[in-house]
Amino acid sequence: MTDWFELERNYYMPTFKRIPITLVKGQGCRVWDENGKEYLDFVSGIAVNSLGHCHPEVVKTIAEQAGTLIHTSNLYYTTPQLKLAQILVENSCLDKVFICNSGTEATEGAVKLARRYGHIHLKGAYEVITGTGSFHGRTLAMVSASGQIKFQEPYIPIPSGFVNVEYNNIEALKAATTSKTCAVMMEPIQGESGVHVPDSDYLKKVRQWCDEKGILLILDEIQTGVGRMGSLFAYQQYETEPDIMTLAKGLAGGFPIGAILCKNRASVFAAGEHGSTFGGNPLACATGYTVFKTIVENNIPEQVKVNGSYLTEKLNGLKQKYNSVSEVRGRGLLQAIEFNNKNANAVTEGCLKRGLLVNKIGDNIIRLMPPLIIGKEEIDTAIAILDQAISDTRVD
C-alpha cells in the first residue's frame, strides 16, 4: 500500500499538522479511511459539508453541470450564477451578490467594498475595525484583519488599515472609531478561535454605533451562515442587519465558493473595480444553488435548532459528569467544549480511535460542527464516544 504520510512529507509544503488518517470516501455523516475504518464526522470539512458527504442532489448537480458547462469567465451571462444570486437575495436582508471562490476572498472583497464606500461617502475613510480572536482568512490583508497575533507575526510587516479591538466590548469599539473608520467587521459568533459567543445584545449595540457614525457593518457569516446556527443566517437571531455579509464554507456543501452580499446603499463597486476569473462559474454556482435551495426548502435551519439544543443538553451532561469540562458553548450545530486541563489532544485521539472526528483548537478546546443533517441517534453515538474518551483521560 502506498505510504501517503511519506508522500506528504516528501512533496507537500508542511503547512498542516494533520491527523494521521487518510480519508478516501464519504457518505452522509460518515467518512472512511483507506483501511476501511468508519468515522462519524463531527468536523464536516470545517463546517463545509452542510448536507453531509455525497448528498445525492449535490452529486447529481455537479455531474449534470459538469457535463453541460463548467466555466465561461465573467465576460458573459451564465444562468447558475444569476439563479444563486436571486435565491440568496430573496432569502436574506441583502440586495446584491458577488460570487467568489473562498471565504478569504469574500472577506477581502467585503473590505474592498467598504473602502470604496469610504472613498465615496466618508471623505476617504478606509480603516476597518475587527475583534480580537477573530478569523477572517489567510491573505495578507485578512491576517491583518484577523485579531490573532499568531497569524500575523510570521509575515510582518502586514498591511495597515485594520484596528483590532477587544471582542464583545462595545466601549473599546467606540474608543477605536475615528474619522478614518469606514466599517466594522465581526463574526456573529467567533468560530475558528474556539466558538466564542458574545453577549446577546453586543451585535445590536455594534449596529447602533455604526448607524450613529454612518459607517458600515460587515458580518462575516462564513462559518455561522447558511443554517449552521439554527437560522438561515446568524444575524436573524440578533436583530442586527448587516450592510455587507460574507458567506463561504457551507454554501456549496463542499464545492469551493464564497459570496459577498450587500445592501443597495453599500453596492458601490463600479464595473472593473472588482472581479474574478473563476468566481461565480457555472459549476460552483449550480452546486451552491442546489445546496442553498435544499436547505431552505426542507427548513433545515429549524432541524438544526432542535438538534443543536439536543447536542447542547448532552454536552452539558458531560460537563456535569466531569470536572475537567469547564465550559460548553455555542449555538445550533457550532459548539465547543472547553477543558480546564490540556487534554483536548488526548480526547481528540480517544475519539479518533473510537471512530469519531472532532476538531481540537489549542490545548483545551474541542469544536463540534457536524453536517446540518445530523440526527439525534448520531448525536447520541458521538456523545457516548466523547464520554468514553474524556473518561479515559480524566484525572479527577
Ligand X SMILES: *Cc1c(COP(=O)(O)O)cnc(C)c1O
Residues 213 and 190: their CA atoms lie apart, in Å, by 24
Quick one: which of 107, 231, 267, 393 contacts ligand X (CB under 6 A)?
A: 107
122 vs 217, beta carbon nearer ligand X:
217
29 vs 186, beta carbon nearer ligand X:
186
| 3-class secondary structure, 83 | helix
**Whole-number minimum distance, CB 285 to ligand X, in Å?**
16
Residues 320 and 316: their CA atoms lie apart, in Å, by 6
127 vs 187, beta carbon nearer ligand X:
187
Residues 178 and 176: their CA atoms lie apart, in Å, by 6
By CB under 6 A, which span of 129-137, 225-233, 330-338, 349-357 interacts with ligand X?
129-137
- Under the binding rule (CB under 6 A), the answer on residue 135 touching ligand X is yes
**Cell numbers at 372, concatenated:** 446540518
- Under the binding rule (CB under 6 A), the answer on residue 50 touching ligand X is no
> Are residues 282 and 81 in contact, defined by beta-carbon separation less than 8 angstroms?
yes
Determine whether 123 is an active site residue: no
Residues 80 and 347: their CA atoms lie apart, in Å, by 43
- Under the binding rule (CB under 6 A), the answer on residue 108 touching ligand X is no
By CB under 6 A, which span of 79-87, 100-108, 226-234, 371-379 interacts with ligand X?
100-108
- Under the binding rule (CB under 6 A), the answer on residue 104 touching ligand X is yes
- Under the binding rule (CB under 6 A), the answer on residue 102 touching ligand X is yes
- Under the binding rule (CB under 6 A), the answer on residue 81 touching ligand X is no
Return the closest-CA partner of residue 29 out of 312, 364, 223, 307. 307
**Whole-number minimum distance, CB 275 to ligand X, in Å?**
18
Site residues for ligand X, window 8-27 (CB under 6 A)?
Answer: none
| 3-class secondary structure, 245 | strand
210 to 229: interface string for ligand X, x by CB under 6 A: ----------x-xx------
Distances (CA, A) of 220 to 47, 224, 315, 369: 14, 8, 27, 17
Quick one: which of 136, 314, 331, 360 contacts ligand X (CB under 6 A)?
A: 136
For residue 165, list its beta bridge partners: 131
Q: Who's near 113: CB < 8 A, 6+ residues apart? A: 244, 260, 262, 266, 268, 269, 274
218 vs 325, beta carbon nearer ligand X:
218
> Which one of the listed residues 135, 151, 292, 339 is annotated catalytic?
135
167 to 196: interface string for ligand X, x by CB under 6 A: --------------------x---xx----
Which residue type is seen at 134?
S
**Cell numbers at 294, concatenated:** 435544499
Nearest 5°: CA angle at 175, between 169 and 177?
A: 105
The set of catalytic residues is 135, 220, 249
- Interaction site with ligand X (CB under 6 A): 102-104, 107, 135-138, 187, 191-192, 220, 222-223, 248-249
